[in-house]
Amino acid sequence: MATTETPAPSSTAAAPPALPQIVAHKVERPNTGWTSWVTTTDHKKIGIMYLVLTFVFFILGGVEALLIRLQLAQADNTLLSPQTYNELFTMHGTTMIFLFVVPIWAGFGNYFVPLMIGARDMAFPKLNAMSFWMLLMGGIVFYASIFFSPPECGWTCYSPLSSSNYLPTSGVDAWIFLIHLTGISSLIGAINFYATIANMRAPGLGWGRLPLFVWTILTYSILLILALPVIAAAVTLLLTDRHFGTHFYDPSSGGSPLLWQHLFWFFGHPEVYIMILPGFGVVSEVLPVFARKPIFGYKAIAAATVVIAFLGLLVWAHHMFATPSPTIVLVFFMMSSFLIAVPTGVKIFNWIATLWRGTIEYKTPLLFSVGFIGTFLIGGITGVFLAIFPVDWQLTDTYFVVAHLHYVLVGGSVFTIFAGLYYWFPKMTGRMMFEGLGKTSFWLMLVGFHTTFFVQHAIGLDGMPRRVYEYPDVGNLELYNQISTVGSFILATGIGVTVFNVYRSLKKGPIAGPDPWKGNTLEWYTQSPPPANNFDSVPRIRSVEPMKDIRRQVARQGEPAEPQVPIASASTAPEQGLQPSSGG
Establish if 82 lies at the interface with another protein (CB under 8 A).
yes
* Catalytic pick among 319, 363, 404, 450: 319
- Catalytic residue status for 269: yes
Site membership for another protein, residue 161 (CB under 8 A): yes
Nearer to another protein, 191 or 300 (CB): 300
Q: Is 92 a catalytic residue?
A: yes
Residue 552, interface with another protein (CB under 8 A)?
Answer: no
Q: How many Cα atoms occupy the beta-carbon half-sphere of 488 within 13 Å? A: 24
In angstroms, what is the minimal distance from the CB of 455 to another protein? Answer: 6
Under DSSP, the state recorded for 209 is G
Backbone angles phi and psi of 269, in degrees to 5: -80, -45
Q: Which of 54, 182, 196, 396 binds another protein (CB under 8 A)?
A: 396
The piece of 169-177, 210-218, 343-351, 404-412 that touches another protein (CB under 8 A) is: 343-351
DSSP character string of 102-136: HHHHHHHHHHHHHHHHT-SS-S-HHHHHHHHHHHH
Active site residue 170: no
Q: Is 99 exposed, middle or buried (0-12, 13-18, 19+ CB in 10 A)?
A: buried
Binding test (CB under 8 A) with another protein, winner from 7, 17, 245, 326? 326
- Residues 397-416: x/- map of binding to another protein (CB under 8 A)? xx------------------
Least distance from another protein to the Cβ atom of residue 114, Å: 27
Choice between 223 and 370, CB closer to another protein: 370
Q: What distance in Å separates the CA atoms of residue 12 and residue 222, rounded to the nearest whole number?
A: 53
**Cis upstream peptide for 529 (omega within 30°):** yes
45, 180, 457, 466: the catalytic one is 466
Q: Which of 74, 169, 236, 476 binds another protein (CB under 8 A)?
A: 476
Site membership for another protein, residue 148 (CB under 8 A):
no
User: Does the footprint of another protein cover residue 328 (CB under 8 A)?
Assistant: no
Residue at 296: amino acid letter = F
- Nearer CB in complex with another protein: 37/338: 338
The question of whether 42 is a catalytic residue gets the answer no
Please work out, in degrees rounded to the nearest 5, the angle formed at the alpha carbon of residue 308 by the alpha carbons of 302 and 313. Answer: 140
Distance (Å, whole) CA 297 – CA 353: 9
Asked about 485 being catalytic, the answer comes back as no
Distances (CA, A) of 284 to 210, 352, 353, 366, 426: 12, 11, 12, 11, 19
334 binding another protein? (CB under 8 A): yes
With binding defined as CB under 8 A, does residue 338 bind another protein? yes
| Residue 525 a catalytic site member | no
SS3 letters for 32-80? CCHHHHHCCCCHHHHHHHHHHHHHHHHHHHHHHHHHHHHHHCCCCCCCC
**Rounded to 5 degrees, what are φ and ψ at 554?**
-65, -40
Site residues for another protein, 206-265, by CB under 8 A, read: 251-252, 256-258
Q: Does 36 bind another protein (CB under 8 A)?
A: no
Q: What is the DSSP letter of 510?
A: P
Binder to another protein among 202, 458, 492, 512 (CB under 8 A)?
Answer: 458
Residue 271 annotated as catalytic: yes
Q: What is the C-alpha separation between 138 and 142, in angstroms, rounded? A: 6
The residue among 423 and 535 lying less far from another protein, judged by its C-beta, is 423
Size of the site for another protein (CB under 8 A): 96
By the rule CB under 8 A, 78 interacts with another protein: no
Q: How many CB atoms lie within 10 A of CB 561?
A: 11
Supply the residues annotated as catalytic.
92, 121, 155, 185-186, 269, 271, 273, 284, 318-319, 344, 347, 466
